[in-house]
Amino acid sequence: MTFLDATNRLCAFSMIADLAELPHDLREALNKICQLRHLRQGQVIAHPGEPHDLVGFVAEGILRMQKTLPDGRQHVVGLLVPGDVYGRVFDGAMQFSIEAATEAKVFVFPRHAFEALLSASPALDRLMLLHFLTEIDRTRDWMVILSNPKVRGRLAGFLMMLCTRFRNIEGMLGSMNGMLTVSIPISRADLAHLLGARAESISRAFHALADDGMIDIIRPDLVVLRSIEDLADEAGEPEMGEAILTEDLPSHRIGSLRRL
Amino acid sequence: MTFLDATNRLCAFSMIADLAELPHDLREALNKICQLRHLRQGQVIAHPGEPHDLVGFVAEGILRMQKTLPDGRQHVVGLLVPGDVYGRVFDGAMQFSIEAATEAKVFVFPRHAFEALLSASPALDRLMLLHFLTEIDRTRDWMVILSNPKVRGRLAGFLMMLCTRFRNIEGMLGSMNGMLTVSIPISRADLAHLLGARAESISRAFHALADDGMIDIIRPDLVVLRSIEDLADEAGEPEMGEAILTEDLPSHRIGSLRRL
DNA sequence: ATCGGACATTGATCTAGCGCAATGAAGAGC
DNA sequence: GCTCTTCATTGCGCTAGATCAATGTCCGAT
């Protein structure tokens, strides 16, 4: 797989979708300096504090960004899904470490070469700027989810976010006789850290939602969403439900969580 | 006060600090298209969903970004302090409404004129890109604070964040015989929404921290931080304390919360 | 000065979620 | 096959925090 293949194949996703619209010669230039890396699960590709000289695009799999607290605990602060970009440009050290949550493939670009292309191409530069704006919105959406006072509500919000982000991502979102199935890319313990709770509480919250008929738990890492409306209601944001249920999503960045 | 005055006077802050280093003619150009607006407390200057055709720089006061939930509740998702930028460029509608938490002054730029300058000036463009990167980091720091399972911990983290962000901002951070005083720019109810708790719990958490000698509550909106280390410990991030206690902060974006 | 409203605090009760411990379930290595 | 390890689940006592209600405090308007 080359980078050009990926941009064409992954054209459903935010960043890479936009990349596909770049002039062909620019994509060729990107193709020349990029390198495909296979990551095994658990592999760490960036450490906080030390300068990371690569910019990466996720092609397959899920990565998680996490902060290592002084006491050694890992604190998940975000997920990267295919189409996402990570790494620093024109800038200092990484704030977080990045670890492959599943087996994954990423395209990496030497930072300086990438920056040179950025400087030379206003179109690419503009794309990165828009991408970062989208990322800010996503992170603020996270804040809204996290500030739900109840664990059930936060979990419901998390599931809704997975829905919007995993839409069209191969293998992450399926449908079982009309119902939406979501694969949960991280463990209960990590989810607990992410949602400000304990693993036991997360487990209980999952089963509480199941008891209320909102979800079915096929496996710990695979759930069926039976009632998006109820989940959105639980999360405190009916509008999220509408957005997900709307089949023909318009281009990203319309409603709160409508961005892919 | 002109925009040029502001960039010189506010040179301690992130975005405007960098602006001050722009070529003089570019700042003149910005000066020409900008307009100073006085905001009274509670004034709303941006509504979610509708396109906002202004880009703004905060010169004085505190603004809060908030999401209006379907049930009418307001959900604070971030604060803007002097030196911060808001608004959209090359892009769709605002995701959140912005409201003046205190009396405030902002410089506003017509969006299209600003975008034209952005396109014409790689330096300004680069500055905005870096600014957004910083903003992403800040929002992720928020996530870490919000995912603290205890209200006390989240409140402590919030106070620490105010410390780092208010550093050098006139009137927001003072010192009383060696102790750091912080002014709390939002009400208990808003703080409760922001931190995923109830106003009563926030009030109790404040007084619990006071009982433990970590803070003194002068007025509901003014507290003295007696022990940064203990607060940082409570927040779960000893490193935050070190960063604040270090008098000569290096340039922004070094440690977790060292960015101003 | 007095009234009214917004906001902060305090008290009392009740429940959600923590914390610890024990028990399953699934995969890796031998 | 087996054991060992890791992860998810379940039970139970206990605390933090939600919830409801009352009181206090400040400020602006009359």
- Cβ of A95 within 8 Å of Cβ of B193? The answer is no
User: What's residue A198's pLDDT?
Assistant: 95
- Find the mean pLDDT for residues A183-198: 92
Residue B41 Cβ < 7 Å to strand D: no
- Find the mean pLDDT for residues B6-29: 66
Residue B179 Cβ < 7 Å to strand C: no
Q: What is the pLDDT of residues B139-151, one digit of tens each?
A: 888 888 999 999 9
User: What's residue A89's pLDDT?
Assistant: 76
Average pLDDT, whole number, for chain A? 79
Interface membership of B89 toward A (CB under 8 Å): yes
Closest CA to A52 of A85, A84, A91, A94: A94
Q: What is the pLDDT of residues B47-96, one digit of tens each?
A: 776 667 788 888 888 888 888 766 556 778 788 887 788 887 777 677 78
Joined together, the tokens standing for residue A37 give 């890396």
For the cut 50, the answer to whether the pLDDT of residue A253 exceeds it is no
Closest CA to A147 of B54, B66, B212, B222: B66
Residues in B touching A237 (Cβ below 8 Å): 69-70
- Find the mean pLDDT for residues A57-61: 84
Give the one of A136, A140, A147 whose C-beta lies nearest to B196's C-beta. Answer: A147
Q: What is the pLDDT of residues B153-166, one digit of tens each?
A: 999 999 999 888 87
- Cβ of B143 within 8 Å of Cβ of A148? The answer is no
Residues of chain A above pLDDT 70, percent = 74
Output the distance from B96 CA to C29 C1' rounded to whole Å.
Answer: 53
Closest CA-bearing residue to C1' of C18: A198
Strands B74-80, B63-68: parallel, antiparallel or unpaired by DSSP?
Answer: antiparallel
User: What's residue A80's pLDDT?
Assistant: 85
User: What's residue B248's pLDDT?
Assistant: 42
Residues in A touching B140 (Cβ below 8 Å): 65, 77-78, 95-96, 139
Residue with tokens 């109830």: B198
User: What's residue A255's pLDDT?
Assistant: 35
User: What's residue B138's pLDDT?
Assistant: 84
User: What's residue B222's pLDDT?
Assistant: 93
Residues 49-68 of B with CB under 8 A from A: 65, 67
User: What's residue B16's pLDDT?
Assistant: 56
- Best of A146, A154, A201 to disrupt the B interface (most B CBs within 10 Å) is A146
- Find the mean pLDDT for residues A217-236: 91
DSSP bridge partners of A182: A173, A223
User: What's residue B259's pLDDT?
Assistant: 44
Residues in B touching A137 (Cβ below 8 Å): 95
- Cβ of A126 within 8 Å of Cβ of B193? The answer is no
User: What's residue B3's pLDDT?
Assistant: 65
Residue A151 Cβ < 7 Å to strand C: yes
Closest CA to B65 of B135, B166, B156, B113: B135
Domains and CATH numbers, chain B: 3-140 (2.60.120.10), 148-245 (1.10.10.10)
Output the distance from A228 CA to C29 C1' rounded to whole Å.
Answer: 42
Separation CA B237–CA B232 (nearest Å): 5
Q: What is the pLDDT of residues B88-127, one digit of tens each?
A: 777 767 778 888 888 888 889 898 898 898 888 888 888 8
Q: What is the pLDDT of residues B169-203, one digit of tens each?
A: 656 666 656 678 898 989 999 999 999 999 999 99
Residues in B touching A148 (Cβ below 8 Å): 196
